[in-house]
Amino acid sequence: MSLVQEIVDVTLPNKKYQILIGPGLHQSLPDHMHSLQGEHVILITDDKVAGFWLKPFASQMSNIVSRLDEIVVREGEPSKSVETCNQLWQKMLEMGADRRTIVVALGGGVVGDLAGFLAASFARGIRFVQIPTSLLAQVDSSVGGKVGINLPQSKNMVGAFWQPESVIIDPLVLQTLDEPNFRAGMAEVIKYGLIMDDEFFHFLKSSVDPIRGRDPQILAKVIAWCCRCKAQVVEEDEKETSGRRVILNYGHTYGHAIENVFGYGTFLHGEAIAIGMTCAARLAMELGMVDSDFLKSQTELFLEFGLPVECPENRHDELLDAMKRDKKVAAGKLSLILPTRIGNVVSMAAPSDEKIRNSLVN
Amino acid sequence: MSLVQEIVDVTLPNKKYQILIGPGLHQSLPDHMHSLQGEHVILITDDKVAGFWLKPFASQMSNIVSRLDEIVVREGEPSKSVETCNQLWQKMLEMGADRRTIVVALGGGVVGDLAGFLAASFARGIRFVQIPTSLLAQVDSSVGGKVGINLPQSKNMVGAFWQPESVIIDPLVLQTLDEPNFRAGMAEVIKYGLIMDDEFFHFLKSSVDPIRGRDPQILAKVIAWCCRCKAQVVEEDEKETSGRRVILNYGHTYGHAIENVFGYGTFLHGEAIAIGMTCAARLAMELGMVDSDFLKSQTELFLEFGLPVECPENRHDELLDAMKRDKKVAAGKLSLILPTRIGNVVSMAAPSDEKIRNSLVN
C-alpha cells in the first residue's frame, strides 16, 4: 500500500522533481526515496527535531543507503551562520563526502536553508533531498529552491537557488510541532489563498476545526494545495527575475521590518507576516483597492488560527526606516504587495510615508 | 578604432557570453563593458595586481558606472579561504551591494575563483565579469565557470558553477607578470595542444620566440586559441557530468599529488602539471599507447618554455597515496587521462601501482 496521498510536480527549466505528501510516509521511506539507493547520504537535522524524528527516519534510510552519516546542529536561526557552514563543510569532508554524496535535510526552514546551501556549495553542488518537518517549511521554504545562510547584519544574504531531487512530506510529523510554530505556519498557508486562490481561502475557512486538530488527511490536502500554488509561481519565475515571484512577499516587507525592529524571537516569522498582511490590507483599503469586508475576512481567519494582527508597540518611525532598508527595495524605491480582492495581489510603488505609517495602526 | 583582436563565443544551455581579447583593451574599457553602464560595481583584485593595474582599470570603469567600490585582498592562495569570504560578504553588504551589483574580478586564478564565488553566493547570485591578468587565468580559470574557495584540507572544495557576463583579456597586462608565472601558464597552454589540437601544438612549436618575448599579437592569438579549446569542452560538458570535461585534467592527478606532497608553493600549479603530463606520457609509453617520439616532442616543448619535467625527490609512495586520494577518484577507482597521440587523450582506469610508480621516474 502506498502512503502517498498527494504528488506535486515541479517542472523547472533545468530540473523536474516531485513533492510526495502522505500521512505515515516516514514509515515507508525506502519505497519513496529510490534516489538514495546505494548512495552515501549525510542526514542533517537539528537537536529538537532529532529528539522526535532522527531515529525513525535514519533507521528507514539505513536500509537502502551504502553509508549514512548524521549531523545534528543546534535548533534555531543562529545555526544559519557562516561559522556553522564552515564547520559542516569540513565535517562533510571528514565524512568522505564527494560529488556523489546526497544531503538530506530533516527539519524546518533553518535546517533546509542551511543543508541546502551546504549541498549547493560543496564540491560545486551535490544532490539534496528535503524532508521538511515544520508546517512553514512544508508549505514554503522546501519549495522553490531558495537556500542560504545569514550574515550578522542581514538574513539570507548568502545563498543559492538550488533545487532538491525530491521533497518528502509527512503531515504526521506535525504532531510534534509546538503550537506557536504550527500557528505561524498557518500564516503562510492563508497567504496562498489571499494572493492567488480564493477557492483555497474558502476551503481553509470551512476547515478550521480539522486543521486546528491537525487531522493528517486534511493537512496533506492543505500542504499539497500550498505546494501547488508555490510551484506554479516558482515555475513562472524560478530565479526572481520576471517579477512574478514577488507576490509571495505579501506582508513580508512589513513583516521583515517588524522582525527587525522588535528583534528576531519576539515574533515568529509567520506571526510577523500575519501582522504585515494586516497592515498591507489596511493600506490597500486606505487606497481604495479593497473594501472593509476584505480586511474583516482576512483578519477573522488569522484570528481563528490564533495569529496576531496588531503591532504591539509604537515604534512607527523605526518600522518605516526598516521597511525602506528591505533588500527587496530596488534602486532605492520601495514597492509593496497589496491585495485587490481575495485571491489577487499586485506589486506597486509605495505611497507616502504618512499613509504607510497610518497602516501600522488599527 | 576597436582594440578587440579576437572574440570567443561561449554558448551554454543557460548562458551565452563573449571573451574579448586584444592588446590594449584596458585603454578602451567603456567601449567593451556596456553591461557596467550605470551600475554599482565592486572591483576585486589583489595587492600585487593592484600595484600595476588597479588605477588604469578603475579610472576607465569609473567613467561609466554609477558607483565603483574596490576590494584589495592579499596576493596568493590563502585568500581563497572561508574567512576571507566571510569578511568580503560583509564588506559587500557595507558597500551597499544588492542584486543588481556587478562583481568585477581583476587578477589571476585566486582572485577570479574568490570573486566568482562571492558573486555566485551573494544575494543568491549576482552578475560577474572576469578580467584575468595571469596567463593561467586567461587561458584556463576564467573560462568554464568554475569558482570556489579552499577548505584547509582540500582545494576548491566549496564553490559553484557560475558563468561570467563577459571576459575581457588584454595580453598587455602580461608584461608585468613574473617569469615563473608566465612559464607556469604555458604548461596549460601546451596542454590544449596535447589533449585536443595538434595544429595548435605545432603552432606553439613554431612560435616559441615571439611567445617568450611576450609579443602581444601572438599572445592574443594563443590565448584565443586556448579559450576556444576550453569553451568547446565546457560547452559539451558544462558541469562535469558527461565525462568530456575530464580531458582537461591531463597531468592533473599527478600534478595535484606533487603539489600536495611537496607542499603548495614548492611548485607553481603549471609546473606541477608539466611534471604530471610528463609522468602521464611516460605511463602511456609504458602501456604502448604512444611511442618515444611523443614523449620527446612533448618534453622538448616544455623545456623550451623552461618548465620542469622531473620529480625532484624520491617520495613515490607518498605521491601514489596522494593520487589515490584525489577528488576525481570516483567510487574508489583511480582514473587517469593518458595521451594516444598529439591532439588526443583518453580517460582510463589506472594500471598497477607498480606501473604508476615507475612512471614517476625518468
Residues in chain B: 362
- Nearest CA to CA, how far is B99 from chain A (Å)? 8
At residue A311, the pLDDT reads 85
Cβ contacts below 8 Å, chain A against chain B, sum to: 83
Considering only the beta carbons, identify the residue of A148, A153, A239 that sits closest to B90. A153
For residue A185, the model assigns a pLDDT of 97
Residue B192 is predicted with a pLDDT of 98
CB contact under 8 A, A124 and B152: no
Marked catalytic residue, from A26, A127, A221, A252: A252
Amino acid identity of residue B84, one-letter, is T
DSSP bridge partners of A122 = B158
**Shortest distance, CA A83 to any CA of chain B (angstroms):** 9
Cβ <8 Å between B157 and A327: no
Confidence grade of residue B264 (pLDDT, cut at 50, 70, 90) = confident
C-alpha cell at A274: 500575519
Please report the DSSP string for B211-242 in residue order.
HHTT-HHHHHHHHHHHHHHHHHHHHH-TTS-S
Check: CB of residue A191 under 8 Å from CB of residue A229: no
Identify the CA nearest to B113 among candidates B76, B146, B138, B144: B146
pLDDT over 60 (residue A321) = yes
Q: Quote the minimal CA–CA distance from A194 to chain B in Å.
A: 27
Beta-carbon separation of A158 and B90 below 8 A: no
Pairwise CB contact (< 8 Å): A161 & B331: no
Residue B132 and residue B174: Cα distance in Å, rounded? Answer: 10
- Taking CA atoms, what residue in A is nearest to B326? A98
Chain B residues close to A89, C-beta within 8 Å: 82, 151, 157-158
Catalytic site positions of B = 124, 146, 188, 230, 240, 245, 249, 252, 256, 269
Average pLDDT over residues B118-138: 97
List the single best residue of B100, B157, B325, B333 to mutate versus A (max A Cβ within 10 A). Answer: B157
Confidence of residue B153 (pLDDT cuts 50, 70, 90): confident
Q: Are A12 and B13 in contact (CB under 8 A)?
A: no
Residue A190: what pLDDT? 98
Q: What's the pLDDT score for residue B346?
A: 96
Inter-chain touch A82–B98, beta carbons under 8 Å? no
Rounded Cα gap, residues B360 and B362, in angstroms? 7
CB atoms < 10 A from the CB of A4, how many? 18
For this structure, is A214 an active site residue?
Answer: no
pLDDT of residue B114 exceeding 80: yes
A269 annotated active-site: yes
Cβ–Cβ gap A154/B82 under 8 Å: no
**What was the pLDDT predicted at A362?**
80
| Partner-chain residue, chosen from B89, B151, B327, that has the shortest CB–CB distance to A157 | B89
Contact B158/A at CB under 8 A: yes
For A136, A303, B358, the CA distances from A308, given in Å and listed in that order, are 16, 7, 74
**Please, what is the angle between helix B252-262 and helix B269-286, to 10°?**
130
Is pLDDT at A343 greater than 60 in this prediction?
Answer: yes
User: What residue spans of chain A are helical by DSSP H?
Assistant: 29-32, 47-49, 55-61, 82-94, 109-121, 135-136, 179-196, 198-205, 208-212, 216-236, 252-262, 269-286, 292-304, 316-325, 353-359
pLDDT digits (tens, 9 = 90+) for B40-58: 999 999 999 999 999 999 9
Instruction: Pick A89's closest partner by Cβ from B89, B99, B151.
Output: B151
Closest residue in A to B92 (Cα) is: A157
pLDDT(A7) > 60: yes
* Mean pLDDT calculated for residue range A298-327: 90
CA closest to B157 among chain A residues: A123
Asked if A146 is an active-site residue, the reply is yes
A123 and chain B: CB distance < 8 Å anywhere? yes
Mutation choice for A interface testing from B85, B121, B237 by most A CBs within 10 A: B121
Q: Using a CB–CB cutoff of 8 Å, tell me whether A74 touches chain B.
A: no
Q: Return the higher-pLDDT residue of A169 and A34.
A: A169
Instruction: Using the predicted structure, report yes or no on whether residue B311 has a pLDDT greater than 90.
Output: no
Contact list in A for residue B161 (CB cut-off 8 A) is: 124-125
Per-residue pLDDT band at B328 (split at 50, 70, 90): low
Per-residue pLDDT, averaged over B280-288, amounts to: 97
Question: Which one of B89, B124, B152 has the shortest CB-CB distance to A146?
Answer: B124
pLDDT recorded at residue A132: 98
Q: Report the share of chain B in percent with pLDDT over 70.
A: 98
Q: What is the arithmetic mean of pLDDT over B222-226?
A: 98
What local confidence, expressed as pLDDT, does residue A324 receive?
86
Question: How much is the average pLDDT of B155-182?
Answer: 96
Burial letters for A28-51: b for 16+ Cβ neighbours within 10 Å, e otherwise?
Answer: bbeebbeebeebbbbbbbbebbbe
Q: What's the gap in Å between the CA of A350 and the closest CA on chain B?
A: 20
Give the model's confidence band at A330: pLDDT under 50 very low, under 70 low, under 90 confident, else very high. Answer: low
B344: left (phi over 0), alpha (psi -120 to 50) or beta: beta
**Is the confidence at residue B331, as pLDDT, over 70?**
no
The reported pLDDT for the residue numbered B100 is: 93
Nearest to B176 by CA among B134, B225, B216: B134
Does any CB of chain A come closer than 8 Å to the CB of residue B289? no
Nearest CB among A93, A146, A158 relative to B157 is that of A93
B93, A13: Cβ pair inside 8 Å?
no
Residue type, B326: D
Q: Do B153 and A93 touch (CB under 8 A)?
A: yes
**What Rg, from alpha-carbon coordinates, does chain A have?**
20
Contact residues on chain B for A121, CB-CB shorter than 8 A: 121, 158-160
Report whether pLDDT(B270) > 70.
Answer: yes
Q: Is A34 a residue of the active site?
A: no
Using the Cβ of B93 and the Cβ atoms of chain A, whether some distance falls under 8 Å is answered with: yes
Report d(CA A257, CA A269) in Å as an integer.
Answer: 11
Is residue B265 less than 8 Å (CB to CB) from chain A? Answer: no
Contact B13/A at CB under 8 A: yes
Q: Residue B282 pLDDT > 70, yes or no?
A: yes
Share of chain B above pLDDT 90, in %: 84
Give mean pLDDT, residues A199-221.
Answer: 98
Please give the pLDDT value at position B251: 97
Residues of A in contact with B125 (CB under 8 A): 160-161, 239
Q: A247-286: per-residue pLDDT in tens? A: 999 999 999 999 989 887 789 999 999 999 999 999 999 9
> Chain A within 8 Å of B86 (Cβ-Cβ)?
yes
ipTM of predicted assembly, 2 dp: 0.92
The catalytic residue among A191, A221, A245, A282 is A245
Q: Please indicate whether residue A188 is annotated as part of the active site.
A: yes
Top residue of B158, B237, B239, B328 to mutate, by most chain A CBs within 10 Å, is: B158
The pLDDT of residue A298: 98
pTM, whole model, 2 decimals?
Answer: 0.94
Q: Is B242 on the interface with A (CB under 8 A)?
A: no
Tens digits of per-residue pLDDT, A62-110? 999 999 999 999 999 999 999 999 999 999 999 999 999 999 999 999 9
Identity of the amino acid at A256: H
Using CB atoms, pick whichever of A14, A93, A148 lies closest to residue B154. Answer: A93
What is the distance in angstroms between the Cα of B156 and the nearest Cα belonging to chain A? 7
Question: In this complex, is the C-beta atom of A38 within 8 Å of any C-beta atom belonging to chain B?
Answer: no
Q: Give how far the C-alpha of residue A116 lies from the chain's centroid of Cα atoms, to the nearest Å.
A: 13
Q: Which residues pair with B7 in a beta bridge?
A: B20
The per-residue pLDDT for range B48-86, each reduced to its tens digit, is 999 999 999 999 999 999 999 999 999 999 999 999 999
pLDDT, position B329: 57
